[in-house]
Amino acid sequence: MPELQSTITCPRCGHRATETMPVDACVGFHLCKGCGQVLRPKAGDCCVFCSYGTVPCPPAQRARATASRAWKD
């Protein structure tokens, strides 16, 4: 079961916000409640949780879990 809570930290102002992630989708942007900056994923990341969150998005969590199981086999 993927973890659904992640804390996003704004790289501009440092504001932190704990958000609930969707189970089956990546989030393409997040509006910082501290400074109004629109956060977008960094190059190579699928979403803002993967770029700025304490926990990657559920699709990325599943992909990593699958890769680690395959690596162990």
The residue-averaged pLDDT of 14-20 equals 98
The two tokens of residue 12 are 């501009």
Predicted local confidence at residue 70, as pLDDT: 64
Contact yes or no for 6/21 (Cβ under 8 A)? yes
| C-alpha–C-alpha distance, residues 2 and 37, integer Å | 28
| C-alpha–C-alpha distance, residues 6 and 71, integer Å | 26
| pLDDT tens track for 30-58 | 999 999 999 999 999 999 999 999 999 99
